[in-house]
Each structure stands twice: as structure tokens, then as C-alpha cells.
């Protein structure tokens, strides 16, 4: 694969939207820096888009470079940058590029989380690089640190705010006290949420990123389908208020954690909203920012913080990978290969160990607390704190706020079901997992 010394490397860009146009602009405007850092000039030989005729005044390249024929373009390049997104045709194009001996850089979390191993195997077979730093947490260098810097350590847990849209929405709900739907509309108006926000608010985007993080952190294949996923559509003002009273904020977390299940090492990978104490570093991640918190045996606690999306920030991550791929083509070698030797089982959500914060509206009469406590005991869930508050004036109700100790999610969720069935429980006002405490 070694390039002739000094000869330009041919770069094909697939996609020229939000990310692709930043990539193209930076490659052109900083061409001298790229040549010096990569060891050879990087020359854009073509840009594949859906609409090649479309004027793109913000992309300073010869318009003749635009093409609709991505299939052909990938055979004419040393390095292929895939920023189309989605599963098809991105998958086929990447495989074709690898088969033709090109190194590939992609920002496509959906594809890597769905079918990464097929791509990794093709890259290995053809002796080229496949890298995707931009796929998780945009500009934040997180995959390289987990995969390389922590390669001598034992990662215990990765906990990330990896979706800017949902963080923006939850942050705005916390600040303004307003409800989910109106906050999403506000986020859309400000450009922080897509017209169809499903992938974000239902946690699909975060689940893909969780799968990628877990694969690298635990040397185990984890796909998006393995990830337990709950979005933020059910998070209501009552949950935000409950968090606030508990000196917490609500965050949508992507959590990758080592666990023991049936006496065996295993991993839990999940995306769900959780209460996080305000004193935890993740609690202060505001608006559309991202952050990833890592706990490792030797390193202790690490945090990585920055912009999770946007054209330029994402292009920064893409181009870091491009320079690495170029260096390898010039000087030999390749980036780290897929490492899946640990091959740990991924447990069901029921086997994950979590803590719950539960707010109940109960009948205000003697004996109710005993009844409630009995339900926890039956499920083997122990209570850390319980607080009673008077209910609304004139009603015969009290608010009971319970924070549990750690227990399996199955036991906790069975507890909530049993509580809801109690005659003395009028309503389950809020149920939320607690993390970082």
C-alpha cells in the first residue's frame, strides 16, 4: 500500500452536505498543512453527491469534481471519506472502496453500529485502514483514546452524553420548566433538532454510539440491536421537578458497563434517561454539548468534553482520521484492527444493576408506608432513603419519594409494577434511574 514518496494521495469524498462541505473546504484551505502533516499532498479527485449539478458556492473546488457516480469514484482513490450517512448505499460503497485498496474514513455511526464487523474484516483483508472517530461525539477525540490510550488499562464503565439534541431539550426543560413537546419545537426552530427528531429523541442515535463505545472499551462485538434503548419522549415535567428536588438533572445517557451475570463477566449496554447529581461532571454539560465519562481501573475517572455535532467540529474528527490514514499509506503500517477477543456476553436490561428514584402519590393514612416498604422487600430491593411530603391541600394524599440501593433492573421494574397495583398508591408520579451517585 506504500505510496510513492511525495506523490499526492487521491481523496474521494462521498457526500457534501453539512459535514462533507466542511471537509472539502478544510482540505482545500489548509492544503499545505495537510501535505506537511500527512507526508504527501491530499488531492480531492471527486465528490459524490445526489445532485451533482447543484451550485455549492461554499465549497471551493472545481465544479467538475462533483459526480453522481460514487461507484466509479471509489475505485479511483487512495482515501475515501464517507459522509453520506445511512446504511445503503454507504455500506456497499465502503466495501467497494476497501476492496479496491483504498483506506476509508467514515462518520457513519448507524452503519458501524449495525454492521461494523463486516467492514472491519474487509479492511483487514485488504490491509487498509477503516476509521470512524467522527461517528461518536463529533469533535471530541474519544474513540482513539479508548481504543489506543486506554489499551493498557481495564475500562469499567463509559457513560456519555452523546446526543446533542436530547441534551439541548432536557437542559431547556430543566431551565424553563416547560414540557417535552414545546421544548422540541423550540429546539427545531433553533436548528438543534431535525424536522423528524425520532432518531434523536427515541435514543436510536445514542444507541448506535453506545454500541461503538462498548465494542472498543470491552474488546467485544456489540451492535445497535444489543443496546437497551429508552428515549426521552416519556420524560415529563414531573421527572424534571423530581430530579431538581433531589439536586439532580435529567440526562440521556449512553452507558457501557462491565457487570457480573450468573457469575460470569459480561457487559451491559444501554441508553436511557437518568438522574445525575448536580455535582457530577456530566451534570454541567449544557445545551447541545457532548461529554463522555470513563472509569478505568488504573486511570481512574476521565472526562472528555466538546461539541458533538456540526459541520466543522465533525470535519475536525474526520480529518484527524484522514491524516492518520495518509501517514500509514506514506510511511507504512495501519491503525489498530478490530479487537474483539474478550467476546463478553451482553446482558439483558433486566440483569443490569441500577438504582431507581420513585415518586408515588399515596393515600395519606397510617400503614401505607409499611405496605409500600413491604413491596420493596418482596422484590429484594433495599431502600436507601424515603421521604414523605404532604400532598395538595384538601386532598387525602401524600407524596412518597423513594431512592433505592443498587438492584437488578428486573427487580426494580417489578417493584414499580407491584407498587402501581397497590390500592393505596394513587399514581406513580415519576420513575427514573439514578447514575453517577
Ligand X SMILES: NC(=O)c1ccc[n+]([C@@H]2O[C@H](COP(=O)([O-])OP(=O)(O)OC[C@H]3O[C@@H](n4cnc5c(N)ncnc54)[C@H](OP(=O)(O)O)[C@@H]3O)[C@@H](O)[C@H]2O)c1
| CB of 429 vs ligand X, minimal distance in Å | 36
Q: Is 157 annotated as catalytic? A: no
Which parts of 87-146 interact with ligand X (CB under 6 A)?
89, 107-109, 134, 138
- Told to check if 84 binds ligand X by CB under 6 A, we report yes
Asked whether residue 16 is marked as a ligand-binding residue, the answer is: yes
By CB under 8 A, is residue 21 in contact with its own copies?
no
Nearer to its own copies, 203 or 308 (CB): 308
The H-or-E segment that residue 314 falls in is: helix 311-331
| 297 versus 343: smaller Cβ distance to ligand X | 297
Listed residue (182, 177, 209) closest to 193, CA to CA: 182
Which of positions 308-337 make contact with ligand X (CB under 6 A)?
309-310, 314
Residue 149 partner contact from its own copies, ligand X, none using kind-dependent CB cut-offs of 5 to 8 Å: its own copies
> What DSSP assignment string belongs to 37-71?
HHSS-EEEEEEE-S-TTS--TTS-S-GGGEES-HH
Question: CB of 97: closest distance to its own copies in angstroms?
Answer: 19
Annotated binding residue 14: yes
Q: How far is the CB of 333 from its own copies (least distance, A)?
A: 1
83 counts as binding ligand X under rule CB under 6 A: yes
The response to whether 20 counts as a known ligand-binding position is: yes
292-311 binders of its own copies (CB under 8 A): 296-307, 310
Q: Is 241 helix (H, G, I), strand (E, B) or coil?
A: helix
- DSSP bridge pairs for 291: 161, 305
Q: Which stretch binds its own copies (CB under 8 A): 113-121, 136-144, 162-170, 201-209?
A: 136-144
**Residues 249, 295 contacting (CB under 8 angstroms):** no
Question: Would the CA dihedral through 131, 300, 287, 307 be positive or negative?
Answer: negative
Distances (CA, A) of 222 to 112, 131, 202, 391, 423: 10, 17, 19, 46, 42
Residue 41 vs 350, nearer CB to its own copies: 41
Is the link from the previous residue into 89 a cis peptide, with omega within 30 of 0?
A: yes
251 is in an annotated binding site: no
Contact, 172 vs 237, CB < 8 A?
no
Binding residues: 14-21, 109, 194
| Enzyme catalytic residues | 209
Amino acid at each position: 500500500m506504500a505510496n510513492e514518496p511525495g506523490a499526492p494521495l487521491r481523496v474521494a469524498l462521498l457526500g457534501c452536505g453539512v459535514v462533507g462541505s466542511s471537509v472539502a473546504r478544510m482540505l482545500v484551505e489548509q492544503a499545505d498543512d495537510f501535505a506537511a502533516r500527512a507526508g504527501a499532498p491530499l488531492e480531492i479527485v471527486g465528490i459524490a453527491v445526489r445532485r451533482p449539478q447543484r451550485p455549492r458556492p461554499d465549497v471551493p473546488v472545481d465544479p467538475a469534481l462533483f459526480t453522481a457516480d460514487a461507484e466509479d469514484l471509489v475505485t479511483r482513490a487512495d482515501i475515501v471519506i464517507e459522509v453520506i450517512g445511512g446504511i445503503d448505499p454507504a455500506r456497499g460503497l465502503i466495501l467497494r472502496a476497501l476492496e479496491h485498496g483504498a483506506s476509508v474514513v467514515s462518520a457513519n455511526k448507524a452503519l458501524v453500529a449495525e454492521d461494523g464487523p463486516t467492514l472491519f474484516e474487509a479492511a483487514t483483508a485488504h490491509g487498509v485502514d477503516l476509521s470512524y472517530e467522527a461517528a461518536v461525539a463529533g469533535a471530541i477525540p474519544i474513540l482513539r483514546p479508548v481504543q489506543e490510550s486506554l489499551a493498557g488499562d481495564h475500562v469499567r464503565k463509559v457513560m456519555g452524553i452523546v446526543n446533542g439534541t436530547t441534551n439541548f431539550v432536557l437542559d431547556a426543560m430543566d431551565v424553563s420548566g416547560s414540557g417535552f413537546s414545546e421544548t422540541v419545537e423550540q429546539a427545531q426552530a433553533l436548528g438543534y433538532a431535525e424536522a423528524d427528531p425520532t432518531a434523536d429523541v427515541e435514543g436510536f442515535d445514542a444507541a448506535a454510539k453506545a454500541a461503538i463505545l462498548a465494542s472498543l472499551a470491552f474488546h467485544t462485538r456489540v451492535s445497535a440491536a444489543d443496546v437497551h434503548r429508552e428515549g426521552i419522549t416519556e420524560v415529563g415535567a414531573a421527572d424534571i421537578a423530581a430530579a431538581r428536588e433531589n439536586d439532580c438533572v435529567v440526562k440521556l445517557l449512553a452507558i457501557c458497563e462491565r457487570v457480573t451475570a450468573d457469575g460470569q463477566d459480561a457487559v451491559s449496554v444501554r441508553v436511557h434517561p437518568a438522574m445525575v447529581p448536580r455535582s457530577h461532571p456530566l451534570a454541567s454539560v449544557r445545551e447541545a454539548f457532548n461529554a463522555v465519562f470513563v472509569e478505568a481501573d488504573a486511570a481512574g475517572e476521565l472526562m472528555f468534553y466538546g461539541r458533538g455535532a456540526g459541520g466543522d467540529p465533525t470535519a475536525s474528527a474526520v480529518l484527524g482520521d484522514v491524516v492518520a490514514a495518509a501517514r500509514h499509506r506514506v510511511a507504512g503500517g495501519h491503525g489498530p484492527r478490530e479487537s474483539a477477543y474478550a467476546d463478553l456476553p451482553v446482558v439483558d436490561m433486566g440483569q443490569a444493576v441500577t438504582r431507581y428514584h420513585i415518586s408515588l402519590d399515596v393515600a395519606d393514612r397510617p400503614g401505607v408506608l409499611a405496605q409500600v416498604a413491604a413491596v420493596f422487600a418482596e422484590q429484594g430491593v433495599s431502600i436507601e432513603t424515603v421521604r414523605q411530603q404532604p400532598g395538595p391541600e384538601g386532598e387525602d394524599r401524600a407524596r412518597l419519594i423513594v431512592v433505592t440501593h443498587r438492584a437488578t433492573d428486573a427487580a426494580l421494574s417489578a417493584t414499580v409494577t407491584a407498587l402501581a397495583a397497590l390500592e393505596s398508591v394513587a399514581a406513580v408520579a415519576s420513575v427514573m434511574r439514578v447514575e453517577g451517585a
